[in-house]
Amino acid sequence: METQKLKGRADIPAEFKWHLEDIFPKNDAWEAEFKAIEQKIPEGETFQGRLGESADSLYACLKWMDDMGLRLEQIYAYARMRRDEDNRESLYQGMTDRAGALAVKVGSATAFVIPELLAVPETKFAEIRQDPRLELYDHAFEDILRKRDHVLNPAEEKLMAEIGELAEAPSTIFTMANNADLKFPLIHDEKGHEIELTKGNYIQFMESAERQVRREAFEGLYHTYQKQANTWGAMLNASIKGDVFNAKVRHYDSALEASLHDERVPLGVYDALITTVHEFLPEMYRYVQLRKKALGLNDLHLYDLYVPIVPETQMKIPYAEAKEMVLEGLKPLGSEYLKVLKEGLETGWVDVYENEGKTSGAYSWGTYGTHPYVLLNHQDTLDSMFTLAHEMGHSLHTYFSNQNQPHIYAGYKIFVAEVASTLNEALVMEHLLKTTTDKKILAYLVNHYLEQFRGTVFRQTMFAEFEKQTHALVEQGEALTAERLSTLYRELNALYYGQEVVLDAEIAWEWARIPHFYNAFYVYKYATGFSAATALAHGILEQGEPAVKRYLNFLSSGGSDYPIELLRGAGVDMETPVPVREALTIFSGLVTRLEELLT
Is residue 53 annotated as a catalytic residue, yes or no? no
Long-range CB pairs of 40-49 (<8 Å, 24+ gap) are: 40/64, 40/67, 40/68, 41/68, 41/105, 41/106, 41/109, 42/109, 44/109, 44/110, 44/112, 45/109, 47/113, 48/112, 48/116, 49/116
CA 564/CA 263 separation, integer angstroms = 9
Contact call for residues 594 and 440 (beta carbons, < 8 A): no
- Residue 353 has a CB neighbour count (10 Å cut-off) of 19
End-to-end CA distance of the chain: 41
Residue among 157, 354, 391, 425 flagged as catalytic: 391
Q: Sheet containing 372-375: which strands, arranged edge to edge?
A: 350-351, 372-375, 363-366
Dihedral over Cα of 306, 312, 313, 316: its sign: positive
Under a CB-based contact definition with an 8 Å cutoff, are residues 420 and 555 in contact? yes
**Residue 73 CB partners (closer than 8 Å, separation 6+):** 367, 368
Which of 152, 107, 129 lies closest to 52 in space, CA to CA?
A: 129
Residue at 21: amino acid letter:
E
Q: Are 431 and 488 in contact (CB under 8 A)?
A: no
State the Cα–Cα distance between residues 464 and 451, nearest whole angstrom: 18
The residues carrying an active-site annotation are 391
